[in-house]
Amino acid sequence: MDTAHVIEALGALAHEHRLAIYRMLVEAGPDGLSAGMIADRLGVPPSSLTFHTRALVQAGLATQRRVSRQIIYAADFAAMNGLVGYLTENCCGQGAACNPGCDPARPAVTEDAASPTNRRSA
């Protein structure tokens, strides 16, 4: 993934509604969601939804297809993984010897989450 594409993708996600739409699409999986369903869940008018989904499609983060009279949007998981990979490929510069805190597949543990007062007793 080249830098220009990364900037475009991050720019497309840099808006409250577009980020919410994208997260909905990721949760929906490869089948995606209809434009009407997204608009209802987000509480935005169709014209605003079109504006926001167009930005995600143009950035390559989402796809759209027509099914009868509906437009279905879906996350492009290969593009999402490419973006995350680009952001983490040189995480700490140590390759396989990378610190576990830098592993993008492992959730980060914050100091608060690790404190004894925040742990559940078994």
Q: For 56-90, what is each residue's pLDDT tens digit? A: 999 999 999 999 999 999 999 999 999 988 888 87
Q: What percent of the chain has pLDDT over 70?
A: 75
User: Residue 22 sits in which domain range?
Assistant: 3-79
Domain count of the fold of the chain: 1
pLDDT per residue as tens digits for the range 1-51: 889 999 999 999 999 999 999 999 999 999 999 999 999 999 999 889 999
On whether the CB atoms of residues 63 and 73 are closer than 8 A, the answer is yes
Residue 89 within a domain: no
CATH code of 58's domain: 1.10.10.10
Residue 110 within a domain: no
What is the per-residue burial (b if ≥16 Cβ within 10 Å, else e) of 20-39?
bbbebbeebeeebbebeebb
Residue 26 within a domain: yes
